[in-house]
Structure 1
Amino acid sequence: MNAPLSPEVAVTDQPVPQEDAETATKPSVIPSRGIKMPMDKALLRPRIRQSLRKNSYEGYEADAIMKIAREGDTVIELGAGIGYISTLIGVHKPVKAIHAFEANPRLIDYIHRAHALNGVTNATVHNALLAPRKGPPCDFYIRQNFLASSMDPEGGPEDGVVAVEQIEVRNINTTFREIKPDVLVCDIEGAEAEILPALKYDGLRAAVIELHPQNVGAPGIRAVFDAMHAAGLAFYPRWSHRKVAVFRREW
């Protein structure tokens, strides 16, 4: 039996705005590519909610990792964001383990919620940065738009800094030796040109890397390609698209 309406609830004939109508019928999730992302208007701006519904959020990266990930793989993701890619892998691919690294502490709870909502139990979320060497915690600047947060203190007025957090810095090679990943997924807003050349690990079978030429320029792109070639991976144009570059070991 339905509970009676509270006397404080007002009944109105006013039309419900479209966005409110959507959340009234689907109050808790946004479906996307066969997974469910928690509805969180404070975190997910309208453009992101729309791209999730259209299955276009991180589209090229998602397409590539769905082709690459195999049964039994251990996947390491640098730059987990809202946990979309790690959730997608956990739901659709029978991998052994996923290690998702995200520097923004304000996103960690949401990533955990996304994993729990989709029954992903083989993912570990790390609130840490990887660097060429272990160091003291570094400043991370939280902005009004959480997804625009970064280690860069500069930002537009619409994305003003609201807090500064101290984030753990781990050594990339120590981390890779401990986790022993087969597949690398990397989307770290230009830091790939500094971090990946320091990698000394030959256990990768494949990598999906979103490049940021606007941040790193031609020398940075060349550094990433050289780093992947040094790791024994060759550029694979068939599964690459625009700024998403796929590398794989010959098989």
Structure 2
Amino acid sequence: MEDQATRDPYVMSRGMKFPNDGHFIAEKLAAALRENRYEAREAQCALRLVRDEDTVVELGAGIGFMSTLVATRCNIKNVFAFEANPSLIPYIESVHAANGLPNAHVTHGQLGKRNSSTKFYVRDYFPASSMTSLESDTEANTQTVKVDVLNASHVFKEIQPNILIADIEGAEATLLPHLDLTGLRGAMIKLHPQHIGPEGVNAVFRTMLDTGLAYYPRGSTHKVVCFRRAW
């Protein structure tokens, strides 16, 4: 088995560098990155949506893949990413630094209707970390941390994004209806129907339609749905 000392310093994906940290980049994930399979549907949608000079807000930054993709492939003004998992923040920052992206920013926190705080469950397998406690959680495999909830209306007013990218594990149905999306030219939402059900899926579409954003089929694939103000 490959150890840390013999790893290549970076895993390359679509021309982007990802520091080869064994805790975050397991071999299965590294293979998906190298073969351009990682978040392939999201990447296809984002690259159809984002244009030069855009200001992008990303909810749910993960390992920094999407923020790095739009910042390297498009001449955007800025991308502002928000991530609730505190353990991921230094890694995302290292990805942005490795790719030389002064216009890519990450904030620890999540957006909500008002300023507050909430619990977040950090698990050994970081993709399984979430806002929801599980019966399998123990002191040995799960750390409970406090996460700041930032007033979404204030954040959007300050950033003034025209593109939204959101992969927030089911919170899309409850958060999006409370955002002022009138300034958006487009949005990419990853739906989680297993969490939000048909009512939640309809709530997402209703929010977009009420804002004047139409479903854009060319950019959409399965649960990754794209909306644009004009085609």
Say which is worse superposed, 35-44 or 107-116, in terms of deviation. Answer: 35-44
Instruction: Flag the structure with larger Rg.
Output: 1
Task: Give the one of 126, 130, 140 matched to 2:120.
Answer: 140
Quote the residue 2:101 is aligned against. 120
Q: Residue 178 in 1 paired to residue 161 in 2? A: no
* Distance in 2, Cα, partners of 1:224 & 1:176: 18
SS of the residue aligned with 1:163?
strand
Quote the residue 1:188 is aligned against. 168
Task: Give the one of 41, 54, 72 matched to 2:22.
Answer: 41
Task: Give the one of 68, 74, 78 matched to 2:49.
Answer: 68
* Distance in 1, Cα, partners of 2:8 & 2:202: 45
* Distance in 2, Cα, partners of 1:115 & 1:31: 13
Superimposed CA distance per residue, residues 49-100 of structure 1 (whole angstroms, 9 cap, x where no aligned partner):
1111110111100111111111110000000000011011111110001100
Give 1:206's aligned amino acid. G
Is this contact kept in 2: 1:51–1:57, CA < 8 A?
yes
* Distance in 1, Cα, partners of 2:139 & 2:164: 30
The total of aligned residue pairs comes to 231
* Distance in 2, Cα, partners of 1:55 & 1:200: 34
Structure 1 residue 159 displacement after superposition:
11
Where in structure 2 are the equivalents of 1:198-237 lying within 5 Å? 198-237=178-217
Quote the residue 1:104 is aligned against. 85
SS of the residue aligned with 2:184?
coil
* Distance in 2, Cα, partners of 1:53 & 1:47: 10
* Distance in 2, Cα, partners of 1:195 & 1:77: 13
Is this contact kept in 2: 1:211–1:244, CA < 8 A?
yes
* Distance in 1, Cα, partners of 2:137 & 2:115: 33
* Distance in 2, Cα, partners of 1:65 & 1:23: 35
Is this contact kept in 1: 2:163–2:186, CA < 8 A?
yes
* Distance in 2, Cα, partners of 1:208 & 1:93: 16
* Distance in 2, Cα, partners of 1:134 & 1:229: 27
Q: TM-score, normalised by structure 2?
A: 0.94
The verdict on how the C-alpha distance between 1:107 and 1:202 changes in structure 2, with shifts beyond 3 A counting, is: same
* Distance in 2, Cα, partners of 1:177 & 1:146: 31
Structure 1 residue 114 displacement after superposition:
0.2
List alignment gaps of at least 5 residues for structure 2. none
Give 2:17's aligned amino acid. K
Q: Tell me how large the CA RMSD over aligned residues is.
A: 1.8
Q: Residue 166 in 1 paired to residue 146 in 2? A: yes
Is this contact kept in 1: 2:49–2:219, CA < 8 A?
no
Structure 1 residue 47 displacement after superposition:
1.9
* Distance in 2, Cα, partners of 1:29 & 1:123: 19
Q: TM-score, normalised by structure 1?
A: 0.87
Is this contact kept in 1: 2:112–2:175, CA < 8 A?
yes
SS of the residue aligned with 1:108?
helix
* Distance in 2, Cα, partners of 1:208 & 1:214: 18
Superimposed CA distance per residue, residues 20-68 of structure 1 (whole angstroms, 9 cap, x where no aligned partner):
5x973x5210000110111011122222111111101111001111111
Superimposed CA distance per residue, residues 196-243 of structure 1 (whole angstroms, 9 cap, x where no aligned partner):
011123100000110000111100000000111122100011110011
Structure 1 residue 172 displacement after superposition:
1.3
Structure 1 residue 133 displacement after superposition:
2.4
Where in structure 2 are the equivalents of 1:6-17 lying within 5 Å? 17=1
Identity percentage over the alignment?
Answer: 44
